[in-house]
Structure 1
Amino acid sequence: MTATDKAVAQAPAARHPVAARDAAASVRARRTKRLGRFGLNSVALALTVLFLFPVYWMFSTSLKSNSQVLVKDPVFFFTPTFEHYSTATGVDLFWTYVRNSLVVTLAAVLLALLVALAAGFAIARLHFRGRRGMVLVVMMAQMAPWEILIIVMYLNARDAQALNSLVTLIVIYFVMALPFTIWTLRGFIAAVPKELEEAALIDGCTRTQAFFRIIFPLLAPGLMATSLFGFIMAWNEYAMVLVLNKAPEMATLPLWLTQFQTNFGNDWGATMAASSLFTVPVLIVFILLQRRVTGGLSAGAVKG
């Protein structure tokens, strides 16, 4: 190539140096963005596998035979068997445990929602002396570890002759779920424009009617989020029922999970089957409500 040809070839680049630099920068930016997206997806995939593998191992172990469970090397390919589920559900008073867990959980969640709706409305809408102090108390109660009160609760229940009672568990779980429920619903109620409520009052509604016709329908995400939180807390709680309810007929499902021990050690197959059955209701509820729950938690945390 002659010097003239080189000059002609280099002329466009010389005439447009800024465009060339911009094009190169755009290519680098796209490459960096692709690499960043790939790295982020890789981390997300690794975390997903990390958190889902124990769940997979629990369900897969529940479907293995005892010989496959106890071998040194893990077995990934096997013929499923449901013998461990028969063992788990064949425990004495199994359906009593199920009934007790449902009664305690649903009653505690319902009570927490009813009281939190009234308290959240009062904090968000009404101006009264001690309002800020009440908010501070709710925050402190939400952060407090309830385990430090187990001995006090046991002594009070014993003195009141309230041991081995589902009502005692309902009251305790209600109190444990109440602070978070109040805090979340307060944020939702505060986020509802006051103009909507005032318009309903002008149209002739009472304050109670305005609440149930205007505010309450807008609280669905918050109600679902707090209901799921209270359900998981009461469904999984172990320490209180272990200390307060010694009678087998007053026990709940968390105590059922501790019964699969033999003279030769733990029956891991039955334990995993029981754990799988215990987990399924929470997973189903969470999958059905996950979108509203995510929105409810974020909105309740930042609004109001």
Structure 2
Amino acid sequence: MKRAVSATAGRLWPNATALVLAAGFVFPVYWMFSTAFKPTRDIVTDEPVWFPFHGTAEHFATAVHAPHFWTLAANSVLVTVLAVGLSLVIALCGAFALTRMRFRGRRGILLTFMIAQMAPWEVMVISIYLIVRDADLLNSLAPLTCFYMLMVLPFTLLTLRGHVAAVPRELEESAMVDGCSRRQAFRKVVFPLLAPGLMATSLFGFITAWNEFPLVLVLNKEPAMGTLPLWLSQFQSQFGDDWGATMAAASIFAVPVLVLFLVLQRKAVGGLTSGAVKG
């Protein structure tokens, strides 16, 4: 009996802690979305309105009709998708080479990527600005795509390297014995087994590139050449104390990340943990 009570108590405090932490993380998100649907009179009232029973979509209409919204949304999608796609292709090739091949300087390359992963990008904004300015590429999406790809590349390569190492070499060798070339063996045998790792790294890369703010703030000054984080930072200065429209803009910005996370969360978490087993 005492052992059962002790086991129950041992499970109780971790669950209670998890609930408290979950509430702390979830409540600001709920308050953002609920405020976006509240009429203005319920936002500025002294008594907080916890549930918007009489919701309205007027704040979302204000947000999407803000200047350059659709242009900046298209810019964000284009830059993020291209950066994540390029990083996946390069990292997949690099991870396969670092895992399956033996060559001089292999450990040095891995160490370089680890150092790049730890380096804070904010301290390099000035040097990046000088490079882009001298190349006459300010107010262009190409530098953003390139540097966003470089931001997520180290993590992507290191994670995919663990996944490639977890695939038994014998599977690839058996395919090559059956007549496949190395490229065909990778495409038909190894690549399908890397889906969890690709999902995990693509989710991380999407969040990183989608939320990036300091670089676009420095490089792209023209209103139509920015991205949604820059638009969101300037939204309140355009609409003053319209908190409903501000929360609607923040909700619109957060929806793609939330949807992608909800769709990929199970496979992404499994991909991160399985990629850390070997390599």
Out of 59, 74, 85, the residue aligned to residue 33 of structure 2 is 59
Separation in 2, partners of 1:71, 1:96: 35
Out of 234, 239, 258, the residue aligned to residue 209 of structure 2 is 234
Contact 1:100–1:250, Cα closer than 8 Å, also in 2: yes
SS across alignment from 2:276: helix
Q: State percent identity of aligned pairs.
A: 57
Contact 1:113–1:227, Cα closer than 8 Å, also in 2: yes
Separation in 1, partners of 2:227, 2:87: 20
- Matched with 1:84 is 59
**After the TM superposition, which residues 148-159 of structure 1 pair with which residues of structure 2 at under 5 Å, given as runs?**
148-159=123-134
**After the TM superposition, which residues 1-304 of structure 1 pair with which residues of structure 2 at under 5 Å, given as runs?**
27-78=1-52, 79-261=54-236, 265-304=240-279
Query: TM-score normalized by structure 1?
Result: 0.89
Paired residue type of 1:95: W
Paired residue type of 1:70: V
Paired residue type of 1:267: D
Alignment: residue pair count: 278
Separation in 1, partners of 2:224, 2:232: 15
Cα offset, 1:174, TM superposition: 0.5
Paired residue type of 2:47: D
SS across alignment from 1:257: helix
Query: TM-score normalized by structure 2?
Result: 0.96
Cα 1:262–1:65 change in 2 (3 A) is: farther
Contact 2:166–2:277, Cα closer than 8 Å, also in 1: no
What runs of 5+ residues in structure 2 fail to find an aligned partner?
A: none
4+ runs of 1 displaced by more than 3 Å? 262-266
SS across alignment from 1:266: coil
Contact 1:260–1:266, Cα closer than 8 Å, also in 2: no
Paired residue type of 2:221: K
Contact 1:69–1:269, Cα closer than 8 Å, also in 2: yes
Cα offset, 1:38, TM superposition: 2.2
Paired residue type of 2:33: F
Cα offset, 1:256, TM superposition: 1.5
SS across alignment from 2:234: coil
C-alpha RMSD over aligned residues = 1.3
Separation in 2, partners of 1:182, 1:41: 35
Cα offset, 1:260, TM superposition: 2.8
Contact 1:183–1:300, Cα closer than 8 Å, also in 2: no
Paired residue type of 2:13: G
Paired residue type of 1:156: I
SS across alignment from 1:301: coil
Cα offset, 1:262, TM superposition: 5.4
Paired residue type of 1:221: P
- Matched with 1:18 is none
Separation in 1, partners of 2:45, 2:6: 47
Contact 1:181–1:226, Cα closer than 8 Å, also in 2: yes
CA deviations 1:113-161 (Å, max 9, x no partner) are 1100111011111000000001101111111101110000001000000
Cα offset, 1:301, TM superposition: 2.3
Separation in 2, partners of 1:177, 1:262: 31
Separation in 1, partners of 2:238, 2:5: 62
Separation in 1, partners of 2:116, 2:229: 25
Contact 1:112–1:177, Cα closer than 8 Å, also in 2: yes
Separation in 2, partners of 1:294, 1:272: 29
